[in-house]
Structure 1
Amino acid sequence: MPFESFQDLITMLVVILVLQVSLALLLIGVRKWRPTRYQRYPRISLPPTNDERHQFQLYMSGEELFPAMLQAIESAQRLILLETFIFKGDDLGHKFREALLRKARNGVAVYVIIDGFANLVVPRKFKKFPPEIQLLSYPAFPRLSQIFDIGSYARDHRKLLVVDNEVAFIGGYNLGELYRTEWRDTHVQVRGPIVSNLAEMFASQWNRYRRRLTRLHIDLDLEWQSTVRVQRNDAGRLVFPIRSMYLDAIERAERFVYISNAYFIPDRAILEALVMTARRGVDVRILVPAESNHVLADWLARHYFEFCLRHGIKIFLYENAMIHAKTATIDGIWSTVGTANLDRLSLAGNHEINLEIYNAAFAERMQEIFACDMANARELTLAEWIKRPWYTKAAELVLSPLWPIL
């Protein structure tokens, strides 16, 4: 009977869901019981690069990045715009908070955006900024009137600092001691006309979600940029150009594609583009953590490994440290540094921001970083991967339908 068939279907779906949840909890529990021991990772200090109107400085260590950011804050004369996904209430977080407050009390306009959900575990006392600092906590949960608005479930995953519309920092680093000392990430400092575009991106985000806060007015001299572009995923408007940026760049590749990403869970279009590019003889390399901070993301990523390896994509596992970078460089000319992962949440869900840079000197620096990271990674071979235990394959199969939520 139709009713019985429908009931059987519901029963089967419930069983699968229970199995997925149970397996997920088991994996999370095992990771908590056996945490990854991060070690000091190799890093290099790179000189700045330039184009006709911009200067770029890449950072692959929080121990170099955060002092530079604090120095930029201390030098502020008029305006500080800081946006971060996570703002931990630890020693580093307090240094940033105190630096911001000091400048605000000296007459500098200070605006801060944090993600409400990502910072739920941060002590409330730390998040209660003094009134001299304008603080916007991006809503952790949608309002009742937004319950059917898909965009309202997005997170503000952006990490951006703009000082006086003269210097900006953008990349994967959150603010906290963990990221300063243990995580391998990539950030870039930029000076030049594109900084005004980044300030405009901050102002747009602030003014859309400020509710009762003061509207942010900035006098900006925006220009069209051909060699440096800002790509912004805007969940509120359901506009996601970063995905298109990746697709276009991958499909144009002629020699190599080097991608570093914390959570590699590509959708069908990205995966097909990578495969077709590898089939054309392009050297496609994906660098991911051997073990990331999100065990479910690791297991969902593994579901794609065999398919990638069978179609000529090379996968490298970064060992003994969490690589959190969201970068790519192609053919010695095109590069991107930003906040977007290659997963559904970043490419078609969250608020994200990436710089897209057409510059051979900058691309050379990106290749140097990738080569440094490769020295701390091992290549995963197809022969090794297909020999993994049957129960591992079964777990990957059970968890694979969860990819849309990550």
Structure 2
Amino acid sequence: MSPRRPSPRRLVWAVVQGWFAAVVVVIAALMITTRIRVRNRANRGDGFPRVPPVAVPVGEATTITTYTYGDDLYDDMLTAIAGAQERILFESFIFKGDAMGQRFKRALVRAAERGVDVRIVYDGFANLVVSPSFLRFPAPVQVLRYPLISGWFVFNPRRWGRDHRKILVVDDTAAFVGGYNVGSEYATEWRDTHLKVEGGSVWDLDNAFVDFWNLNARRLPMLKDRGSPSWDPRVRAHRNLPRQLVFPVRGMYLEAMDRATDHIYLTAAYFIPDRDILQAIKDARDRGVDVQILVPWVSNHVVADWLSRGFYGEMLRHGVRIFRYRDAMVHAKTATIDGRWSTVGTANIDRLSLTGNYEINLEIHDDDLTKHLETVFASDLDNATELTLDEWESRDIVVRACELLLAPLRPLL
């Protein structure tokens, strides 16, 4: 009697189980080796090049200051909080309970004690490892913890988006937005980019916070939408809103890339583009646009690093230049095009940010600010190593196997 053959269903299930087990082993190994590399990087203590804060007038009613170092940013944010007289709107994806987080908490509490209306939003899932006692604030501070699932119907994808935004608005006169979360590590060890907006365009960030608060803080006092007396089309805030299935940041990138005629300089903490974004980049190269992309050599999310690697070969063969940032985690989410257009914000070039999370990016049409951001990009390239096509194609078979094994995870990130 011949042995019984396994059914196709059992064969498929066995393959899936084998793949899953292999993925777990590979990810575990990558996490261990990455942790060692990051620890060695931190122990060097030699820092990284940075550009001091620079304020650039944009039009007649707005000034935008660019920050590339956390300590500089946090000093100005804390100064703004200390000087608040009427209202503080503070939103952070991650709000660590370390020394820097404690400084922000004390400043926010003191502002509330002197009569300032203080509203705080943080993402509940991103702060699971933060002590609950740290995230409790005394009255009259109003705190919104954005939950893991917003609503009862868990199968609705609109309810799963994380609040990945980082916003601070003080008295409708100054607003901050960009990639920096709040924590001591980010102050000196991460290379990120943040903006301070002063003048008429503060309303865009104020309104973004107000809308989010009023949509989600049902048991807390609502915020009044004050409207805007001015509208400067050179500065626009694009907000991804999973609850409404609205994702304009992705559309902003696609449209801007299609307009490029000379160059695109892109800094991406986690670069996992969908097919349309990737095609827009390749189309730009096909018409002669110089495309340069800066990514971390080693990021804080090893799986994202390896999923990103899956696009390197295709881009390098198209003539895209890829640079890997050394000795620090580059967490910035910025782009400049043709010296005329720029964006800085919270959205990464991946599916989680572009079609999943609550995000906010400023789109700015201004030559002077864009040129300054390109100066920042050039400074970052001084601390980066270019990846060549020859180097990429010479990687060993084990590396190729790991990339292939992890490739099915791309749609998840």
TM bracket (short chain): over 0.9
Mapped pair 1:131 → 2:143: no
Give the 5 Å matches for 1:39-118. 39-50=46-57, 51-118=59-126
Match of 1:63, as an amino acid? Answer: D
The 3 A distance-change label for structure 1 pair 226 and 2 is farther
Equivalent in 219, 230, 237 of residue 230 of structure 1? 237
Secondary structure of 1:58's counterpart equals: strand
The 3 A distance-change label for structure 1 pair 214 and 391 is same
Contact 1:46 1:365 in 2 (8 A): no
Deviates more, 1:40-49 or 1:257-266: 40-49
Mapped pair 1:7 → 2:18: no
Contact 2:38 2:298 in 1 (8 A): no
Mapped pair 1:17 → 2:25: no
Match of 1:182 in 2: 189
Contact 1:117 1:141 in 2 (8 A): no
Deviation at 1:33, TM superposition (A): 4.3
Match of 1:73, as an amino acid? Answer: I
Separation of aligned partners in 1, 2:85 and 2:60 = 26
Deviation at 1:75, TM superposition (A): 1.2
The 3 A distance-change label for structure 1 pair 131 and 2 is farther
Contact 1:286 1:314 in 2 (8 A): yes
Separation of aligned partners in 2, 1:232 and 1:327 = 15
Mapped pair 1:283 → 2:290: yes
Match of 2:156 in 1: 149
Give the 5 Å matches for 1:211-226. 211-221=218-228, 223-226=230-233
Separation of aligned partners in 2, 1:158 and 1:3 = 50
Match of 2:211 in 1: 204
Deviation at 1:242, TM superposition (A): 0.4
Match of 1:87, as an amino acid? Answer: F
Separation of aligned partners in 2, 1:96 and 1:297 = 30
Mapped pair 1:167 → 2:170: no
Separation of aligned partners in 2, 1:11 and 1:177 = 46
Secondary structure of 1:125's counterpart equals: coil
Contact 2:53 2:72 in 1 (8 A): no
Secondary structure of 1:220's counterpart equals: coil
Mapped pair 1:243 → 2:246: no
Match of 2:404 in 1: 397
Separation of aligned partners in 2, 1:180 and 1:45 = 14
Deviation at 1:140, TM superposition (A): 2.3
Match of 1:45, as an amino acid? Answer: P
Match of 1:20, as an amino acid? Answer: V
Separation of aligned partners in 2, 1:219 and 1:393 = 55
CA RMSD of aligned residues (A): 1.6
Contact 1:286 1:313 in 2 (8 A): yes
Match of 1:29 in 2: 32
Match of 1:390, as an amino acid? Answer: I
Deviation at 1:368, TM superposition (A): 0.6
Secondary structure of 1:77's counterpart equals: coil
Separation of aligned partners in 2, 1:122 and 1:11 = 39
Separation of aligned partners in 1, 2:182 and 2:53 = 22
Contact 2:88 2:170 in 1 (8 A): yes
TM-score normalized by the length of structure 1: 0.97
Match of 1:140 in 2: 148
Equivalent in 346, 355, 358 of residue 353 of structure 2? 346
Match of 1:221, as an amino acid? Answer: S
Contact 2:200 2:231 in 1 (8 A): no
Q: How many residues get paired?
A: 405
In structure 1, the gaps of 5 or more residues are none
Match of 2:309 in 1: 302
Give the 5 Å matches for 1:350-365. 350-365=357-372
Match of 2:375, as an amino acid? Answer: E
Contact 1:266 1:343 in 2 (8 A): yes
Mapped pair 1:263 → 2:266: no
Separation of aligned partners in 2, 1:21 and 1:224 = 51
Separation of aligned partners in 2, 1:243 and 1:78 = 35
Contact 1:278 1:312 in 2 (8 A): yes
Separation of aligned partners in 1, 2:224 and 2:150 = 26
Separation of aligned partners in 2, 1:32 and 1:286 = 24
Mapped pair 1:369 → 2:371: no
Separation of aligned partners in 2, 1:312 and 1:251 = 17
Match of 2:15, as an amino acid? Answer: M
Match of 1:72, as an amino acid? Answer: A
Match of 2:112, as an amino acid? Answer: A
Match of 1:103, as an amino acid? Answer: A
TM-score normalized by the length of structure 2: 0.95
Separation of aligned partners in 1, 2:74 and 2:331 = 16
Contact 2:101 2:183 in 1 (8 A): yes
Secondary structure of 2:214's counterpart equals: helix
Match of 1:124, as an amino acid? Answer: P
Separation of aligned partners in 2, 1:388 and 1:47 = 41
CA-to-aligned-CA distance 1:191-221 (integer Å, 9 cap, x gap): 1222112111101111111132222224232
In structure 2, the gaps of 5 or more residues are none
Contact 2:54 2:67 in 1 (8 A): no
Deviation at 1:231, TM superposition (A): 0.4
- What stretches of structure 1 move > 6 A for 4+ residues in a row? none
Secondary structure of 2:324's counterpart equals: strand
Contact 1:258 1:285 in 2 (8 A): yes
Secondary structure of 1:173's counterpart equals: coil
Separation of aligned partners in 2, 1:107 and 1:351 = 30
Identity of aligned residues (%): 47
